[in-house]
């Protein structure tokens, strides 16, 4: 083996350490971001999958989960109708892949958007989409 090369064991150990840091640091980062500015949170689940409501209710600052099936039209319309002056918004949920995929595509060119998605099981994804405050409300957060 060449000098300075990593073994499989070292790669696995490094990956495990990185995963642990992300898992432990995630709540701290989320708490810091939430303290920075007020965020209006909406939580969604897919009623076709019974466990998704419970999983959605476990997300950070989860509100009472709202049912949304595989059609993201209502959520995209909600985003497109945001007033020019509005507070920060975080949409989050546990749904099929179509919802987070379409929301990410719809907002991918917007500045200040934070999007995260992670597969929960074969059918569901846990996701979060945070949009910054707009207009005068954005100035108040600074």
pLDDT digits (tens, 9 = 90+) for 50-98: 899 999 999 999 999 999 988 888 888 888 887 777 788 899 999 999 9
Same domain for 55 and 111? yes
Task: Determine the Cα–Cα distance for residues 116 and 93; give it in Å rounded to an integer.
Answer: 11
Question: Sign of the CA dihedral 60, 65, 66, 71?
Answer: positive
Same domain for 130 and 90? yes
Task: Determine the Cα–Cα distance for residues 5 and 7; give it in Å rounded to an integer.
Answer: 7
pLDDT surpasses 70 at 112: yes
Structure token digits, residue 110? 């917007």
**How many separate domains does the chain show?**
2
Determine the structural domain holding residue 6 and report its residue range: 1-35
pLDDT band at 16 (very low <50, low <70, confident <90, very high): low
Same domain for 20 and 61? no
Same domain for 30 and 73? no
Same domain for 106 and 41? yes
pTM (2 d.p.):
0.67
């Amino acid at each position: 083996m060449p000098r300075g090369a990593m073994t499989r064991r070292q790669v696995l150990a490094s990956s495990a350490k990185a995963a642990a840091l992300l898992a432990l640091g995630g709540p701290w980062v989320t708490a810091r971001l939430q303290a920075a500015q007020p965020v209006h949170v909406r939580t969604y689940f897919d009623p076709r999958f019974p466990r998704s409501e419970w999983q959605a209710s476990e997300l950070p600052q989860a509100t009472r989960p709202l049912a949304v099936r595989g059609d993201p039209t209502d959520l995209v319309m909600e985003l497109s109708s945001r007033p020019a002056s509005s507070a920060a918004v975080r949409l989050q949920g546990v749904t099929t892949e179509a919802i987070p995929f379409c929301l990410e595509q719809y907002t991918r060119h917007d500045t200040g958007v934070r999007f995260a998605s992670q597969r929960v099981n074969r059918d569901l994804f846990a996701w979060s989409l945070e949009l910054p405050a707009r207009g005068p409300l954005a100035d108040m957060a600074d």
